[in-house]
């Protein structure tokens, strides 16, 4: 009897938690980590700031978990692409990069400060985050090597460098500027970005 009540409570709390996460996720994408305040999150989710802290112990934890959500989506996409052995490695990289940039354009990619921040340290100490980041880099690394073997990516480039290039596209400021311009469709922007990434500004 008591256990029925408590299970219900747990579910309600899980929903609360998810609602907070959703609001934070969106705000992190819209304003970025530093500009987002816990008051913003509280207001959007519709509860007091003190209550937020019953679910998430800190702003950093909120950001880390938002990144975990996105990284899990990326890992899921990777696994779905790996099921089809017909697709070339470079096309897998292309699709994942497109997905990341699309997420950014749709306002669903959290933007966190890269360096020189207290957050960076907290992230590196956050096991769930680090685990997923390593898993992602591992799997992408395999594709990069394969694409280089296939001569679809220049084998002269260090694999790390290629990986960083792909990660960097998901926070490329060009995306925001082109979107704000308003003259171009989302797909058109993505096509151009991918074209430049893989074949450069030069005609192909």
Partner DNA sequence: GTCTATAAGAGGATAGAC
Partner DNA sequence: GTCTATCCTCTTATAGAC
Cβ–Cβ < 8 Å for 141, 163: yes
Helices (H), the chain: 2-31, 38-45, 49-55, 59-82, 89-105, 118-124, 127-149, 159-169, 173-181, 186-199
The answer for residues whose C-beta is within 8 angstroms of residue 25's C-beta and 6 or more apart is 66, 69, 108, 110
| One residue of 17, 32, 69, 141 binding a copy of itself per CB under 8 A | 32
**11 interacts with, out of a copy of itself, DNA, none, CB within 5 to 8 A per kind:** none
User: Which range binds DNA by CB under 7 A, 43-51, 69-77, 94-102, 144-152?
Assistant: 43-51
Q: How far is the CB of 51 from a copy of itself (least distance, A)?
A: 26
| One residue of 82, 162, 186, 190 binding a copy of itself per CB under 8 A | 162
What is the separation of C-alpha 38 from the centre of its chain, rounded to a whole number of angstroms?
Answer: 21
What is the separation of C-alpha 193 from the centre of its chain, rounded to a whole number of angstroms?
Answer: 17
| One residue of 117, 137, 145, 146 binding a copy of itself per CB under 8 A | 117
User: Which range binds a copy of itself by CB under 8 A, 29-37, 55-63, 70-78, 123-131?
Assistant: 29-37
Q: Does 38 bind a copy of itself (CB under 8 A)?
A: no
Show the binding pattern over residues 49-68: x = contacts DNA (CB under 7 A), - = does not. Answer: xxx-xxx-xxxx--------
**195 interacts with, out of DNA, a copy of itself, none, CB within 5 to 8 A per kind:** a copy of itself
Per residue, what are the HEC states of 53-73? HHHCCCHHHHHHHHHHHHHHH
| Nearest by Cα to 172 from 147, 194, 153, 199 | 194
List contacts with DNA (CB under 7 A).
Answer: 9, 13, 16, 36-39, 47-51, 53-55, 57-60
């Amino acid at each position: 009897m008591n256990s029925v009540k408590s299970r219900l409570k747990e579910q309600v709390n899980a929903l609360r938690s998810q609602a907070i996460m959703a609001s934070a996720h969106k705000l992190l994408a819209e304003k970025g980590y530093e500009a987002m305040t816990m008051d913003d999150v509280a207001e959007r989710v519709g509860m007091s700031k003190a209550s937020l802290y019953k679910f998430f112990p800190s702003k950093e934890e909120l950001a880390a978990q938002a990144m975990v959500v996105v990284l899990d989506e990326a890992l899921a996409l990777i696994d779905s692409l790996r099921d089809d052995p017909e697709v070339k490695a470079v096309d897998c990289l292309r699709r994942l990069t497109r997905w990341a940039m699309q997420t950014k354009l749709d306002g669903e990619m959290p933007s966190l400060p890269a360096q020189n921040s207290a957050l960076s340290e907290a992230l590196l100490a956050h096991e769930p985050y680090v685990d997923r980041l390593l898993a992602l880099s591992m799997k992408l690394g395999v594709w990069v090597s394969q694409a280089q073997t296939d001569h679809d990516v220049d084998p002269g480039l260090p694999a790390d460098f290629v990986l960083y290039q792909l990660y960097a596209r998901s926070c490329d400021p060009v995306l925001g500027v082109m979107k704000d311009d308003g003259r171009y469709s989302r797909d058109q922007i993505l096509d151009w970005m991918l074209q430049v990434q893989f074949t450069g500004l030069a005609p192909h």
